[in-house]
Chain A
Amino acid sequence: MQRSQTILQRTLSTPVILIAILAIVALAALIVGTGPFNQTVIEIFIRIVLVVGLYVFIGNSGVISFGHIGFTCLGAYMTAWLTILPAMKKSKLKGLPDIILNAKLHYGWGLLAATIFAGLCAYIIGKVLMRLSGIAASIATFAVLAVIIQVYSNWDSVTGAQSSVVGIPIVRTVWPYFACAVLVVIVAYSYSISRSGLALRSARDEAIAASASGVDITRERLIAFVISGAMMGLGGALYAHSVGVVTPDTFYLNLTFICLSMLVVGGMNSLSGAVLGVVILSSIIQLLRWFEKGVDFGGSIVALPLGVQEIAIGVVMIVILMFRPSGLTRNKELSWPHWPFKQLPAGRSRAPTG
């Protein structure tokens, strides 16, 4: 038996379709052209970076992580430290090393540094955590999140503690966010069809058999953890440049809940699920935001109470878990010509069973 196409040729339609979806979203911002809509689209791209980052680890390893938003915090503060005016840092963040205190870099370097820094931290933390499995690993990741947030909430001279760090250069055009979203989709896709991605997914299905097949599970998990941690750091840096201000509280349970919900709703084991989960839930969130602000129905203003967004996300997630636990995509990938979905967990088709 000889396959006529390589893994890349067989599966390339997935990232192409996903990037096309992202391009349509970006073009929508261009066509509509209003500030609020522009900001909504930017938020979607940031969430795509974060949720795809989560997918790289959770989707491929099967280990639920509650701690990845910690890396988002690390990335956000790293770019803040490097891109804020030195004069502002000297008044509020005196404890920073001189080299950082005097730096004033372009935001592009901030994004790069945030990505590398978060990836490096993920490597150090992962060296310890990746020896754990199952619920123990999940709880440990949550502990990591709590530790990071506590450090950043109390290290006054370096992070400003719980007060906001302001003066981060704001980037209002959607294109850098679009480019980063495209980049993480390509990296996540490349990882999923790589030998490391295949090995990790086999360990997700059957850890003992994977080990018997020569797979070093700890090593493969660590690789995914570092890649996803770096992506989360990039997402944090993008967030910082989208609003111009960061506080540790932003990167805690609320954001963790929203990102995990988007992944669960889309389909945890699917890159397409990560992207579609963001697009669909972000649309619902945006709709509810408008209703929270009040909508004019023939002269009378109808407004939903604050907090409805979170309640709605929770309800959607419960409904999905009850009736479609493998997510809207059923853990399959968008593909062509097998439109709309095809199983691509290992970089090729999943034939019908039975």
Chain B
Amino acid sequence: MGNALSAQQVSVAFDGLKALSNVTLSVPRGEVTGLIGPNGAGKTTFVNVLTGFQQPDHGRVLLDGEDVGHLKPHLMRRRGIARTFQSGRLFAELSVLDNFEVTGVGLGLSRREAAEKAEAMLDWIGISSLAERTAGGLPYTDERRVAIGRALMLEPKYLLLDEPAAGMSAEEAADLVRLIRRIATDVGCGVLLIEHNIGLVLSICSHIHVLDSGEVIEDGPPSAIKASERVRHAYMGTQADAEGEIL
């Protein structure tokens, strides 16, 4: 499995309760891969496994063919796997620029080098005006963009976005889609997008995996996911008709 971040037969259980069961999934470089599923499906647990926050009970995590499933989170970062969190988790008392610089120094850069890199990244994301703002006081949408920019400071090969559009308006979500496309195409990053906004996932992902109760119940291109009755039933439940418009 070269040039991909992949999970092979990954299983995780908490106190005997299965959170993930034999999940196999691959995130190729330069593409946006979607991961959807109802609440409690195991999406965040899966992201935690791919980023070193959760050791799998069984299975392997391969980074461009190398087994990295045993590495600690900060070492996973240094190998090129970055992530954002559902709740933002910005360094609230630091400025936006400092939030970016932390990632630079985490990579081993000096503060001067980290500052230069942070400024360039702020420019690239288009949020230079926020540089001196305190991260703890940012509006929700800006917080999400800062979280993505901070993760990109790592120059990751793979970026895992955990519900980046939660709470965004349609216009803000459209901006986010443009940003994610740039990350995949301009940076060449492999993006795993975990998101409840199905329309957004279908519009941007080349391949989508559907998790339900810790198992992958379907995977394929957006058209296949759209057409899958199993996905409709498992993911949408009785709301399938109501959501039909989105699909």
> Residues on A close to B: CB < 8 A?
1-3, 6-7, 193-196, 198-199, 201-202, 204-206, 208-217, 269, 331, 343, 345-354
Contact = CB atoms under 8 A, between A and B. Distances in A.
Interface in B19-47: none
Given A213-B150, A350-B95, A198 B101 contact: yes
Given A206-B90, A214-B74, A214-B78, A348 B154 contact: no
Instruction: Among A2, A195, A214, A343, find the residue whose CB has the most chain B CB atoms closer than 10 A.
Output: A214
Interface string B84-126: 0100011111110111011101110111101100010011000
A208 B89 contact: yes
Interface of B: 51, 53, 72-74, 77-78, 82-83, 85, 89-95, 97-99, 101-103, 105-107, 109-112, 114-115, 119, 122-123, 128, 131-134, 136-137, 150-151, 153-154
B94 A349 contact: no
Contacts of A346: 94-95, 98, 101
B78 to A, nearest CB: 6
24 contacts: A1-B123, A1-B128, A7-B112, A201-B93, A205-B93, A208-B53, A209-B85, A209-B89, A209-B91, A211-B77, A212-B51, A212-B53, A213-B150, A213-B153, A214-B77, A214-B103, A331-B93, A347-B98, A348-B97, A349-B132, A350-B95, A350-B134, A351-B134, A353-B133
Given A195-B114, A349-B95, A351-B95, A213 B103 contact: yes
B91 A353 contact: no
Contact of A205 (B78, B94, B112): B94
Nearest to B92: A205
Contacts of B115: 3, 7
Given A214-B106, A214-B107, A349-B132, A206 B92 contact: yes
A201 B53 CA distance: 21
B82 to A, nearest CB: 7
A196 B153 CA distance: 17
